[in-house]
A and B are shown apart, each in its own frame.
Chain A
Amino acid sequence: MSLSRRSILAGATGTLLASAAPGFAQTAKGGAGKAARIVVLTPRKDVGDVLGLRDYIGSSGLTATIDVREVPNASDVPSLLPQIRAARPDLVVTVFTPLTLATVGRHDDPEPARFLTDVPVVFTSVTDPVASRIVRSLDRTGRAVTGTRHIAPVSVQLKTMMSYRRWKKIVAVYNPAEDNMVAVVRELKDEAPRHGVELMDAALPRDAAGAPVAAAIPDLIADAARAGAELIYIGPDTLVASNNNAVIAERALAHNLATFCSTELPIRRANLLMGLVSPAVNVGRFAGLKAVEILTGAKPADGIPVETLNRFSLLLRIGAAKRLGLYPPMRLLNIAEIVQDA
């Protein structure tokens, strides 16, 4: 029985987690010996969150099938929902703010039936679930939705930027269509004067249909450089950070601007200067913990708070520093993980 269960652990990617999940250590929900079924919705299959989640659930002793589905655009979610409901999973995991919002909707949405409401949902790497109105508050979510955040508090991010250099002007390049980004930039503007720095708002322009125009990024950066900005802030922004990090890195170096990023992948991929991040694998593991808590019935799904890991990694890319002629100070260098140029 347990052997057969191992064989069906194959997710959509075909990865086997058998070795990490001894079948006889049965703690799954219901206790009837049934494997828990988990559906994961993610923009890409290779994000660290998914790896961490798999890893944690595999080592937790819980027997579960993990069905990972790649959903590049949040707008595809509504058409997927009936299919997910029909599969009757025990838990759904969503990665990043747009997919999460598309899956569970706002907590005060007038038509909750449009979203997934009868299955507990754990999200991972959502910037600000309260500002995005996914949950009512971090401690009391108000429904069977909980998860993890991956962004350091804005004041900590600013402090890190300022300990690299005493910047005078920072420019935030972001997608105004992403609610979480609007919230982050608002908070940055509030915090900036306390750190003695000016924050310049460089939201992407929208086209006639109201969609943000990513092609405007080079112009925005050129304008910012002319206006005297010294550092580009890149937030947890799907359009700018996830999809256009290479362009930003290249244009920033061309204009001799430093870059700061609050998520892990862009700085690992592109030639950005620094980042203060929660490593995505760890955030995913943390989400895995919450998933296990729900599936084993250890805690009710609506009683688990939304949390942030309280340790962050400082990533520095010496190659970018060298090209900018802006070496990191020793204090930062000593605590940083150095990202080598590919």
Chain B
Amino acid sequence: MELSFIKRLNWQLTGLVALLMLISLAVQSSNFSTLFRPLVEPELERKAEVVGSYVVAQLDRAVSFGIEVDKLVGVDELLTDTLAANPDVKYLGFEINGRLHAFAGDEAARSGDRLTADGRAADGGEPLFIDTVLPVEGGGAVARLHIGMSAGHVHAALNEIVFDLGSVLIVAILLNVEILLLVVGTSVGAPLRRVSEVILQAGEGDVGTRVNMRSRDEVGGLGRAIDWALDSIHHRAAEAAAETAGAPAGATSATERAGMMQRVVELRFAIFVFAMAEELTRTFLSVYIKSLFEPIPGLAMEMVIGAPIALFMLLWAISQPIAGSLSERRGRRVVFLSGAMMSFLGLLGSGLAGDLIQLAIARCLTAVGYASVFIAAQGFVIDATDPKQRAQAIAIYAGGILSAGVCGPAIGGIVAGQVGFRATFVISAGLVLLAAFMAWRVLPRVREATARSDRGLRLAGGLVCLRNPRFVGLTIFSAVPAKLGLTALLFFLLPLALDDQGISQSWIGRVLLIYWLLMIFVSPMAAKLSDRWGQRTAFLVLGGLLAAAAAYVLSLPGSLAMALAGVALLGVAHALLNAPQLAMLADVCVSERAALGETTVIGMFRLIERLGSVVAPFLAGLFLARYGYAGALEGIGAVLALCVGAQLLLTAAFRPRPPDDLPQRTSA
């Protein structure tokens, strides 16, 4: 294709940058220990001293009353109480004349009545604990209090930094791709395309068009050289023959098209930034909602906290077709910008919300804004391209959204961990403004004079699709469960469950990152394989079952490792579903596509699919209220598995119709 050079350049540069960053990360992390340990360890010892002196003061007071130090009663309880109040401390040991009189905490630090882990590890390995010793007033005896801090604490903190840097690295690489696409597209791709358009026209005999590039770089020089060459040819031709009017209309349309493709690339970046704004809040949205929860009589908490997410999805689904037809009548630009303003206000409102009602209203506003922005942008992409380029253009546009899905949660998790939930919403609102500004510059001020109604979704026409049982089977039992699984598991239950287990926002972000990474890498492979083998149903069934299995894996105890495995499995499952679903849709709705047009069929499919997202939070909330986290995850898995079964049954009942359209057999 046209972009292959740019693509290659892109990947080569990205690969190089990634490699360099990986090397630097590896070098840095191996030095972290020596760099940071001297900074962290004294801090830990200070903390140990503070906790220890509190205990020592109490022991000293008891001794001052005349109680012999070895006759003190209930020191174990005192140490246990203190340990419970200071979770950083790993053990407390009260030692008299070298023997432990009382001990609380990690049993690994002692053997019998001797303290073993006082900093000098016997086997010469890394010590488990950092031991701090404080003297206790002991009369004749030597009494000491040992306070053990985890030596692994330093290690864990450093690991955390490395993981954060790793997530940032992945995000940086994707950001790199986005920016390279934009820069290379603007300064190389688009000018080259324009040059070839002009030369092609010249070849067809029209020497009236010029490249007209002002940039002073090498590509600009090439443009000027061609213009000069065309000028001199034009002069000579003008002497020989009468000047022809050329074909200015055709010429402009051709060059305009090249410019439009450029605009699609630029819009991709705007959409990437915009989608990122939503994805930033992904890891903590459900936790944030929970924090605002106030009891509503007669409703379980889990149901109530599902409501804002469900409302969001519902309004998105409803407002998308409306905003779509509005943008056809009023112009993409207006709808995009007003949608962005709504999202901006919505995100700001979400960050400032004082209670659940306010948050729900803000989320609704955001949802309408999002739907408007995405449908307007998609409409622009369709307007700006001819059918030949359209698939590629939509792929460019959708790529931006997918990249944002990877970058957003990972960065959002880190940001939320640093500045808190509310501030992250405000940052998201800022990103929306940025995206709006970019779109303001990219989207054409005048709306296209086109009013082709087949582009929008015609609901009445779409209902025809519902008469096709195979369409229904595909949408209701494959597409809807996929969205249901995504929303219920990834957007709702998992962040709540992980937060409940005390897992940091950064880690939740990393876990979600896995899903999108696998989507990006496995989807194209799955698409190719399913095309090659033609086994659509097999892919759909396998994907569905894997998604159900993923839900089951997520429900297993073992927190982080299981969560990572489950999310990875879900990513693979949905990657397997993605392309085969659309291909299957094309196979299933041959007659509908002919009658209604491709867009209406796909639009109908997408609309119904979104129902899954709407139902998901309620269903998940219901399960959660009844059965707890593990039960809710298993429950969603069971629903997903049932859907696969239903889909299989429907497929078996309604075999592909022969082309001459025989009367349908009745279903079993």
Contacts and interface: CB of A to CB of B under 8 A. Distances in A.
B60 to A, nearest CB: 12
B62 interface: yes
A115 interface: no
B330 interface: no
Nearest to A333: B62
A331 B67 contact: no
Interface stretch (A16-24, A87-95, A96-104, A321-329): A321-329
A209 interface: no
A333 B78 CA distance: 10
B256 interface: no
Contact of A327 (B58, B67, B77, B81): B67
A329 B67 contact: no
Interface in A311-326: 318, 321-322
Interface string B354-396: 0000000000000000000000000000000000000000000
B65 interface: yes
A3 interface: no
Interface string B54-98: 000011011001110001111101100100000000000000000
A4 to B, nearest CB: 52
Contacts of B67: 318, 321-322, 327
A330 B66 contact: no
Nearest to A318: B65
A330 B74 contact: yes
Interface string B21-32: 000000000000
A162 interface: no
Contacts of B81: 331
A281 B67 CA distance: 30
A338 B77 CA distance: 20
B81 to A, nearest CB: 7
A130 B75 CA distance: 42
Interface size class of B (residues with CB under 8 A): 10 to 19
A310 interface: no
Given A328-B73, A331-B81, A322 B62 contact: no
B58 A334 contact: yes
Given A327-B67, A327-B71, A333 B77 contact: no
B72 A322 contact: no
Contact of A331 (B61, B66, B78): B78
A274 B167 CA distance: 61
Contact of A338 (B58, B59, B65, B72): B65
A183 to B, nearest CB: 33
A322 B66 contact: yes
A327 B78 CA distance: 15
Nearest to B57: A334
B282 to A, nearest CB: 47
Contact of A329 (B65, B66, B74): B74
Nearest to B75: A330
Contacts of A332: 74
Nearest to A340: B65
Given A330-B58, A330-B72, A334-B58, A318 B66 contact: yes
A329 B77 contact: yes
Interface string A161-201: 00000000000000000000000000000000000000000
Nearest to A341: B66
A322 B72 CA distance: 11
Contacts of A329: 73-74, 77
A279 B233 CA distance: 114
A322 B71 CA distance: 10
Contacts of A322: 66-67
Contacts of B61: 333-334
A203 to B, nearest CB: 32
Contacts of B65: 318, 333, 338
A22 to B, nearest CB: 42
Contacts of A338: 65
A19 B466 CA distance: 95
Contact of B73 (A318, A327, A334): A327
Nearest to B59: A330
Nearest to A322: B66
B387 to A, nearest CB: 81
Contacts of A328: 73-74
Pick from B62, B72, B74 the residue with the most CB of A within 10 Å: B74
Contacts of B71: 327
B426 to A, nearest CB: 46
Contacts of B58: 330, 333-334
Nearest to B55: A330
A332 B67 CA distance: 14
B52 to A, nearest CB: 15
Nearest to B81: A331
Contacts of A333: 58, 61-62, 65, 74
A331 B65 CA distance: 15
A328 B71 CA distance: 10
A321 B66 CA distance: 10
A328 B61 CA distance: 13
Interface string A239-271: 000000000000000000000000000000000
A127 B47 CA distance: 48
Contacts of B66: 318, 322
A328 B77 CA distance: 12
A125 to B, nearest CB: 29
Contacts of B59: 330
Contacts of A331: 74, 77-78, 81
Pick from B61, B66, B72 the residue with the most CB of A within 10 Å: B66
Interface in B144-184: none
A68 B630 CA distance: 72
A318 B65 CA distance: 7
Pick from B65, B66, B77, B81 the residue with the most CB of A within 10 Å: B65
Contacts of A321: 67
Interface in B181-232: none
Nearest to A336: B65
A322 B81 CA distance: 25
A288 to B, nearest CB: 34
B106 to A, nearest CB: 21
Contacts of B78: 330-331, 334
Interface string B123-161: 000000000000000000000000000000000000000
Contacts of B62: 330, 333
Contacts of A334: 58, 61, 78
Contacts of A327: 67, 71-73
A287 to B, nearest CB: 33
B94 to A, nearest CB: 10
B53 to A, nearest CB: 15
B103 to A, nearest CB: 14
A332 B66 CA distance: 16
B101 to A, nearest CB: 12
Contacts of B75: 330
B591 to A, nearest CB: 79
Interface string A271-293: 00000000000000000000000
A334 B71 CA distance: 16
Given A330-B74, A333-B58, 6 more contacts: A318-B66, A321-B67, A330-B78, A331-B74, A332-B74, A333-B65
29 contacts: A318-B65, A318-B66, A318-B67, A321-B67, A322-B66, A322-B67, A327-B67, A327-B71, A327-B73, A328-B73, A328-B74, A329-B73, A329-B74, A330-B59, A330-B72, A330-B77, A330-B78, A331-B74, A331-B78, A331-B81, A332-B74, A333-B58, A333-B61, A333-B62, A333-B65, A333-B74, A334-B58, A334-B61, A334-B78
Return the 5 tightest CB-CB contacts between A and B, nearest first.
A329-B74, A330-B78, A330-B74, A329-B73, A318-B65
